Amino acid sequence: MRETMLQETAAETFDVDSDDKRVALGLVTEAFAEGCLDGLDGDCMAQAALFAAFQELVATYGEDATAVYAEGLPERIRAGGFTTTLHH
């Protein structure tokens, strides 16, 4: 059941219309900005955020389900699923 829940989440885009997800994204974005203002490199913050996120996913869903979720990331990245700037 846990694997199915994560797979369903992986198939969906991050729904910023969800109040909980919007609040969570805002908190993560603020923490990221604070770290950068404190002199931490953006790449360092991004890697730490990814590590923390995957650590939570593994704790919640297990290694196998998280690995399946991660297998879909290259396609989503290439398709612009995480791009926030316009391409010309």
Contacts 24+ apart (CB under 8 A), 11-18: 11/72, 13/81
Confidence of residue 9 (pLDDT cuts 50, 70, 90): low
Task: Identify each DSSP E strand in the chain by its residue range.
Answer: none
* pLDDT at position 84 over 90: no
Q: Is pTM beyond 0.75 here?
A: no
25-72, pLDDT tens digit by residue?
899 999 999 999 999 999 999 999 999 999 999 999 999 999 999 999
